[in-house]
Amino acid sequence: MRSLLNTLRLMLKELRAIRRDRVMAVLILYVFTVATWMVANAASTEIRDLAVAVVDEDRSPLSHRLTDAIRPPLFQEAPVLSPEAAAAAQLEGRYVLVLSIPPDFERDLRSGHAPKLMLLVDATAMAQAGNGATFLQQLLADELQDYADPGGHGTAPVDVVFRNRFNPNLTATWFTSVMQLMNNVTILTLILSGAAMIREREQGTIEHVLVMPVRPHEIVLSKILASGLVILLASVASLVTVIHWGLGVPLTNSLGLYVLGAAVYVVAVGSIGLLLATFTRNMGQFGLLVIPVIIVMLLLSGGVTPLESMPDWMQAVIRTVSPAPHFVAFAQSVLYRDAGFAQVAGELLRMAAMAALALSVVLVRFRKVLSG
């Protein structure tokens, strides 16, 4: 009981220090509101109002029909240009896609020949080029199929029906906003927990703490719990207000389960941040050390690129040394798929094991630093 009271008192001290640090308070507010909103809306890979031009050398009813089919909201109204004007416009970057319809296209199609449409793609715009070309190809195929079989009387051997689950409209904001929230939790937990230790050293107050009747594990726990509590409350508030109310992303009924998993995760990441701080003497050194750790944790978490696209050995390594991929998998299951405790118990246990291991290493390292 005495140890618990000491930890709570030290935790209150850390919370007061965070409250007095106005720069950190503004950073937390900005990251969980403005930054989350901007990334969710600006980093979208959805196809909307894509610039397309048409080179119509056929001038037939079918070519006009294909041109008229290119319309909002996926594409902008497609102007008809000459081959030279279209090439110059794409060279200037004004059109991502240029559809070229050859002469006598409709006549050759009616004659049973196999005429070809040429689609020129500006591949420097990777996401728009790939997704836009796929959407336009499907649109043209549907129009040509309807032209060849107006009543739809042709019978296909297989009728494949797609139904998108968990994100029926394929809205990128639903994914990017939540993944940005996960990244914010990782970054700020690492920085805030490590900064708590560095602040004590730079201000010379660590000596005052050491002469108090407290033990090393109480100091470590207070710093991790204080920073974790601030980040946890800020992330839940951002999830409800910015992501759910502001961006319109639906939330499942498992918010309480998410809070449990996020609490375990911030303890694990906070322990890592505090461990890094024990190897540095000032904020400059800590910043240089924490930046590559943040980059690796974010890029290999599965929130930026799928883990399945990485080599098997890298997947095994990152799942062993980092809690980030387990938290991303946990958050996606809970917030998107409304998974219950049974479905995410494995990820929770892995994060808890990593948190216990990281906390044990921090305690050993922290005692060595104090004795030194």
334-365 confidence digits (pLDDT tens): 988 888 899 899 999 999 999 999 888 888 88
Tokens of 353: 């094991």
Q: Please determine, for residue 327, whether its predicted confidence score (pLDDT) is greater than 80.
A: yes
Distance of alpha carbon 357 from alpha carbon 10, whole angstroms: 23
* pLDDT score recorded for residue 150: 72
Same domain, 26 and 89: no
Q: Please determine, for residue 43, whether its predicted confidence score (pLDDT) is greater than 70.
A: no
Backbone angles phi, psi at 102, to 5 degrees: -75, 165
Q: Which residue has the tokens 């715009």?
A: 125
Instruction: Tell which residue, 265, 66, 52, has the closest CA to residue 146.
Output: 66
Helix or strand (DSSP H, E) at 153:
none
Tokens of 267: 């303890």
User: Could you tell me if 252 and 335 are in contact, meaning their C-beta atoms sit under 8 angstroms apart?
Assistant: yes
Confidence grade of residue 211 (pLDDT, cut at 50, 70, 90): low
* pLDDT score recorded for residue 22: 84
Q: Please determine, for residue 369, whether its predicted confidence score (pLDDT) is greater than 80.
A: no
Same domain, 287 and 342: yes
Compute CA distances 203 → 4, 266, 274, 281, 306, whole Å: 26, 25, 17, 12, 43
Q: Please determine, for residue 257, whether its predicted confidence score (pLDDT) is greater than 50.
A: yes
Same domain, 189 and 309: yes
> Quick check: is 363 in a domain?
yes
Compute CA distances 99 → 69, 118, 123, 136, whole Å: 12, 6, 14, 9
* 262-274 mean pLDDT: 93
Boundary of a domain, candidates 81, 114, 148: 148
Q: Please determine, for residue 326, whether its predicted confidence score (pLDDT) is greater than 60.
A: yes
Strands (E) in the chain, as ranges, are: 52-56, 97-101, 118-121
> Quick check: is 192 in a domain?
yes
The pTM score is 0.78
Same domain, 56 and 6: no
Q: Please determine, for residue 158, whether its predicted confidence score (pLDDT) is greater than 70.
A: no
Same domain, 208 and 352: yes
> Quick check: is 64 in a domain?
yes
How many domains is the chain built from? Answer: 2
> Quick check: is 214 in a domain?
yes
Q: Please determine, for residue 197, whether its predicted confidence score (pLDDT) is greater than 90.
A: no
> Quick check: is 314 in a domain?
yes
Same domain, 204 and 343: yes
Bridge partners (DSSP) listed for residue 100: 55, 118
> Quick check: is 322 in a domain?
yes
Tokens of 58: 């056929």
Helices (H), 216-282: 216-238, 255-277
Same domain, 311 and 232: yes
Same domain, 114 and 227: no
Boundary of a domain, candidates 114, 148, 182: 148
> Quick check: is 328 in a domain?
yes
User: Could you tell me if 230 and 23 are in contact, meaning their C-beta atoms sit under 8 angstroms apart?
Assistant: no
Backbone angles phi, psi at 121, to 5 degrees: -115, 130
Q: Report the percentage of the chain scoring pLDDT > 70.
A: 90
Boundary of a domain, candidates 117, 148, 179: 148
Same domain, 275 and 195: yes
* 45-66 mean pLDDT: 87
Instruction: Tell which residue, 4, 5, 17, 325, has the closest CA to residue 193.
Output: 17
**Lowest mean pLDDT, pick from 3-12, 284-293, 357-366:** 3-12
Confidence grade of residue 223 (pLDDT, cut at 50, 70, 90): confident
Same domain, 28 and 65: no
Same domain, 10 and 119: no
Bridge partners (DSSP) listed for residue 80: 54
**Lowest mean pLDDT, pick from 98-112, 208-222, 304-318, 334-348:** 208-222
> Quick check: is 166 in a domain?
no
Same domain, 188 and 268: yes
CATH assignment at residue 108: 3.40.1710.10
Distance of alpha carbon 150 from alpha carbon 334, whole angstroms: 45
Q: Which residue has the tokens 């070229």?
A: 100
Q: Please determine, for residue 239, whether its predicted confidence score (pLDDT) is greater than 90.
A: yes
Distance of alpha carbon 43 from alpha carbon 59, whole angstroms: 39
Residue bearing the bigger pLDDT, 156 or 14: 14
Contacts with 190 (C-beta within 8 Å, 6 or more apart), sequence order = 269, 270, 272, 273, 276, 290, 293, 294
Confidence grade of residue 156 (pLDDT, cut at 50, 70, 90): very low
* 53-68 mean pLDDT: 93
Residue bearing the bigger pLDDT, 30 or 369: 30
Instruction: Find the domain containing 90 and state its range.
Output: 52-148
Distance of alpha carbon 283 from alpha carbon 291, whole angstroms: 12
